[in-house]
Amino acid sequence: MVTTRNQRTISAPAAIEGVGYWSGQDVRVEFRPTAAGSGIAFVRRDLPGCPRIPAVIEHRVETPRRTTLRLGKASVEMIEHIMAALAGLGIDNCELWVDRPEMPGCDGSCLPFVEILRAGGVVEQDAPRPQLVIDRVIRLGDQESWIEARPCSSGKRILRYELDYGSGSPIGRQSLEISLSPRHFHINLAPSRTFVLESEAAEIKARGLGRRTTFRDLLVFGPTGPIDNQLRFPDECVRHKMVDMVGDLALAGCDLVGRFVAYRSGHRLNGELVRAIIAGIENENQLKHCA
């Protein structure tokens, strides 16, 4: 690992309240500044002992359509938008005190989190931020969906996503490539919202989930486009897929430097890529210790 910048935390505590998409529960999230080297962590203040769950890949567990962390009996879910907001703004150390397991859905984007964090301010800390530079190609998935990490000669983090659900989908083929920076993330990615098809939304409701979520709280696509809503970008769906990538890749616990390309990838493949990257570094370290 190398370092090129100092770590950052928030200047002052901040809070946001909302409703969980899946559970329909009211939830409050309090962002608290922490010392350098603390990392990002969720604290379940509603549970005995206020268990702390570090936001790292080893605590990720598989759940449909969202990213979940679990440590012991404590868990937090739907964390990808909050993680994307923190990572997109370059905030490395922060505790999130929550009173429910599911994070608020807000308007389906991570913009509400970005705005409250920016309003409170970000402060640089006197400690270097570790970077992990991708030095080989790592590819996971199959022909239907895949994700890969590869070296990037510019020394930046380049993201590319290709979205293609076929000719019969109301969501057209979209692709986007960006060089990630806090300003670019705030303006071009953060406002993009999560999306589902009308048939998927009906299935979720039939399972007794999402009862407090309306068509205005996210993008629900019918045969001719969004229902009771309007797009913020012509390619809003691919932009939101990039938001999910940013949030999921943040579970590496360091700045990843490289080129990350995905085709129809979701939370599962995103998480598997982070595991593969971290496992490769751990294996290298073990070999060095044995040499």
pLDDT digits (tens, 9 = 90+) for 53-109: 999 999 999 999 999 999 999 999 999 999 999 999 999 999 999 999 999 999 999
Residues in the chain: 291
* Catalytic center residues: 267
Q: Domain total for the chain?
A: 1
Q: Token pair 């931020």 is at which residue?
A: 129
pLDDT in tens, the chain (291 residues): 555 799 999 999 999 999 999 999 999 999 999 999 999 999 999 999 999 999 999 999 999 999 999 999 999 999 999 999 999 999 999 999 999 999 999 999 999 999 999 999 999 999 999 999 999 999 999 999 999 999 998 889 999 999 999 988 999 999 999 999 999 999 999 999 999 999 999 998 888 888 888 888 999 999 999 999 999 999 999 999 999 999 999 999 999 999 999 999 999 999 999 999 999 876 655 434 334
CB count in 10 Å sphere of residue 90: 18
- Structural tokens at position 98: 């929550």
First-last CA distance in the chain:
19
Say which DSSP state 103 is in.
P
Q: Where are the alpha helices (DSSP H) in the chain?
A: 80-88, 111-120, 182-184, 198-206, 236-249, 267-290
> Residue 121 maps to which CATH number?
3.30.230.20
Look up the domain containing 192 and give its range. 2-290
